[in-house]
Amino acid sequence: MREINGNLNAEGKKVCIVLSRFNDLIGSRLLEGARDCLLRHGMDDQNLDLIRVPGAFEIPLASEKAASSGRYDAVICLGAVIRGDTPHFELVCAEVSRGIGRVSVSSGVPVIFGVITTDNMDQAIDRSGGKVGNKGWDAALAAIEMTSVLAAV
């Protein structure tokens, strides 16, 4: 049996991060975690592009444009959707996750879901560099690994 595993070497990789400006306190922390991960794993900062979009709902369209450009080995989608008092939360979360998944499958480029969805701001802080770690870092690590997995298939 042949087993294919990815490695965690980002050297020579080109990555685009699509970041929601809404809930910027959390988004900026996720971005910091993702960038730190990529650089610590050998990526040259010149190979990292950032696209800022108004909110999480706009992430799938921008990520599709980036993934289909042929310029990137991976696209990392970052943002935060925090539950409020209306059903808006469920609608946004469903469309963002569906859209990001569609882009990844249709483009053949790893498009990584790093959009955190939480019930409150405390949970969001915990997941963006607090006591639960930084989900931006985790998303970047997944992007690095997936680029090498797909290259080996």
Q: Looking at the annotation, which residues are catalytic?
A: 88
How far is the CA of 2 from the CAs of 6, 108, 142, in angstroms? Answer: 13, 22, 21
CB 15 within 8 A of CB 111: no
Of 112, 137, 138, 119, whose CA–CA distance to 60 is shortest? 112
DSSP helix, strand, coil percent of the chain (3-state; round to 5): 50, 20, 25
